[in-house]
Amino acid sequence: MGFARACSVALVGVEGVVVEVQADLEPGVAAFTLVGLPDKSLVESRDRVRAAVVNSGAEWPQKKLTVGLSPASVPKSGSGFDLAVACAVLGAAERIDPAMIADVVMIGELGLDGRVRPVRGVLPAVLAAAEAGYEQVVVPEQTAGEAALVPGISVLGVRSLRQLIAVLCDEPVPEEPADSQGRPDAMLAGLMIPGTGLGTGLAPAAARGDGHRPDLADVAGQLRPRQALEVAAAGGHHLLLSGPPGAGKTMLAERLSAVLPPLTRQESLEVTAVHSVAGILPPGEPLVSRAPYCAPHHSATMQSLVGGGNGIPRPGAVSLAHRGVLFLDEAPEFSGKALDALRQPLESGHVVVARAAGVVRLPARFLMVLAANPCPCGRHTLTGAGCECPPSVVRRYQARLSGPLLDRVDLRVEVEPVDRADLLGQGGRGESTEVVAARVRDARARAAERLAGTPWTTNSEVPGHELRTRLLVAPGALAAAERDLERGILTARGLDRVLRVAWTVADLRAADRPDASDVAVALELRTGIQRGVPMGAGER
């Protein structure tokens, strides 16, 4: 009787569970049984592993073979268990020393010729292995850079099963010929789902066009929306841009992700893990260092926004925009069910998706930007433009953005049509993305210094209780906000969000704490009622 075990990782959402792959050989009729709650792609690994072992020059054991995946109660899917299954079988057949593979985590798909193909989700899988105390992992050569992002773990990248057998048996490692140059590497096909990177802004520059990165200086005029964009980036506040078609709402939203500061190391790992599982991590770029940008079409379903799918739920748009920007263009055209599903992640920074196959918690701390027209034809706010929408149609169209959803939006700005002077450049170009991003970084640094020792890093994350008890504004600064609260213009949540925006405005002008003018700016940005104060970050 022969027995051996290796380890692999099963992904549940973006979290990993270490799975022990056990192989047992017994005398009897040659058969291969795979147990442990595998899915269809994992059941098919029996044929892939057998062909890969034989074509790698090893002998397949002609005995009764049972491979168990433990714990058996965890659903297991995908082809990433092939490498661990093959090594466990070879260990049970004594081709490999079982002690050499007992504490090694192996992740990878096997081709019929024995080559090791990359799979999605390598980073969260290696993170789970490191948290479980494992120190050695074996991954496909193409994803070794992604696995090496996890500190304190030894990574071995292999190109074929033959190479791995040679390493484990201390034999000369054979050379594997590289594919022919001048054509795409077919081995990378399992890493990135075609087309998914385009909607998130993470596709290579060549796929997006000529590689030109949008700049805020390209936006003609729009001083107030530009300043609201700066406040949103500095404090992580959600933004609603409303105005007629062609005013520049989409241009502004597309430039927001470049204004955001670069991701920290921990944030980069979080974003990379989500994108690796979703299959939108570009090959050759193992670490996402800048804020992602996700702009789903208004026909997107609720499952595509918050996560879902058959079996274990997969990340949706809110998770793909984690630590970045989620832009919903033509927001009233989204279904009300899909929009209202955003309420929980807007408050908590994560989304919990419950399905029959299991409950998954996905990260979803994003900056939401909504763009909306005033009516179906878009000309309702234009003087003499000839809007023919009846008042009832206008009200019904604007009501598609529900009150509870809008109550979670800190900044609401009207984007006016661009006049001739601004459009022809007679008013001069506005500030560039680089200049605005520098102010945003300084403001975030001041907020991080103030919030040191707390679980929050930006003003938008601070709870209302802290704002009212520990982080106090200047005396008398809340008088206008309190009057709006008594009149019903503000809700209790709205007052907390006004305080958060006021702190961001104060950070942008390098003040110690907000005064009455900062609160007035925050109230104007939220309610749209003119307060007679300048909007510039440094003006007073």
Instruction: Using the predicted structure, report yes or no on whether residue 147 has a pLDDT greater than 90.
Output: yes
- The closest alpha carbon to 83, from 138, 3, 143, belongs to 138
Q: What is the mean pLDDT of residues 279-292?
A: 83
**Stretch 151-180: mean pLDDT:** 89
Position 132 scores a pLDDT of 94
Read off the tokens for 50. Answer: 């057998």
Q: Which of 56, 118, 129 is CA-nearest to residue 93?
A: 56
Neighbours of 184 (CB within 10 A): 9
Average pLDDT of the segment spanning 196-223: 61
Lowest-confidence range among 309-313, 365-369, 432-436, 533-537?
533-537
Residue 484 has pLDDT above 70, yes or no: yes
- The strand pairing partners of 66, in sequence order, are 24, 33
Asked if the model's pLDDT at residue 202 lies above 50, the reply is no
Residue 196 has pLDDT above 70, yes or no: no
Specify the range with the lowest mean pLDDT, choosing from 322-331, 456-465, 525-534: 525-534
Compare 426 and 207 and report the one with higher pLDDT.
Answer: 426
Check if the beta carbon of residue 21 is closer than 8 Å to that of residue 74.
no
pLDDT tens-digit profile of 391-420? 899 899 988 999 889 989 999 999 888 877
Task: Give the C-alpha separation, 497 to 75, whole Å.
Answer: 41
What is the pLDDT, as a whole number, of residue 441? 95
| Gap between the Cα atoms of 505 and 523, Å rounded | 11
Written as six digits, the tokens of 38 are 């595998």
What value does the mean pLDDT take over residues 158-176? 92
Given this model, what pLDDT does residue 308 score? 81
| For residue 206, pLDDT beyond 60 | no
DSSP 80: T
> Cβ atoms within 10 A of the Cβ of 74, count?
15
CA 68/CA 23 separation, integer angstroms: 7
Cα 324 to the center of its chain, rounded Å: 7
Mean pLDDT of the chain: 87
Q: What is the pLDDT of residue 198?
A: 45
In angstroms, the Cα distances linking 241 to 233, 371, 409 are 14, 5, 11
Residue 310 DSSP class: S
Q: Which of 323, 303, 301 is nearest to 368 (CA)?
A: 323
Structure-block tokens of residue 181: 């140059």
Strand 31-35 with 15-26, pairing: unpaired
Residues 6+ away with beta carbon under 8 Å from 244: 373, 374, 378, 379, 381, 382, 385, 417
> Which has more pLDDT, 37 or 384?
37
Query: What are 12-60's pLDDT values in tens digits?
Result: 888 899 999 999 999 989 999 999 989 888 999 999 999 999 999 999 9
- Please give the full DSSP string across 185-202, using - where no structure is assigned: -GGGGGTS-TTTTTTTT-
Q: Alpha-carbon distance 379 to 373, whole Å?
A: 8
Say whether pLDDT at 518 is over 60: yes
Q: What is the pLDDT of residues 53-80, one digit of tens each?
A: 999 999 999 999 999 999 988 888 889 9
Mean predicted confidence (pLDDT) in 9-13: 90
Give the model's confidence band at 208: pLDDT under 50 very low, under 70 low, under 90 confident, else very high.
very low
DSSP summary character for residue 8: E
Q: What is the mean pLDDT of residues 336-355?
A: 90
Residues 117-141: tens digit of each pLDDT: 999 899 999 999 999 999 999 999 9
Q: Which residue has the tokens 């995908």?
A: 78
Q: How far is CA 108 from CA 74, 307, 378, 450, 460, in A?
A: 19, 25, 52, 45, 40
Of the ranges 173-187, 213-227, 277-291, 440-454, the best mean pLDDT one: 440-454
Residue 149 identity (one-letter amino acid): L
The confidence band for 506, taking pLDDT boundaries of 50, 70 and 90, is very high
Task: Enumerate the β-bridge partners of residue 67.
Answer: 23, 34
pLDDT band at 218 (very low <50, low <70, confident <90, very high): confident
- Angle at the Cα of 205 (from 329 to 268), degrees rounded to 5? 75
User: What is the separation of C-alpha 330 from the centre of its chain, rounded to a whole number of angstroms?
Assistant: 22
- pLDDT score of 426 more than 70: no
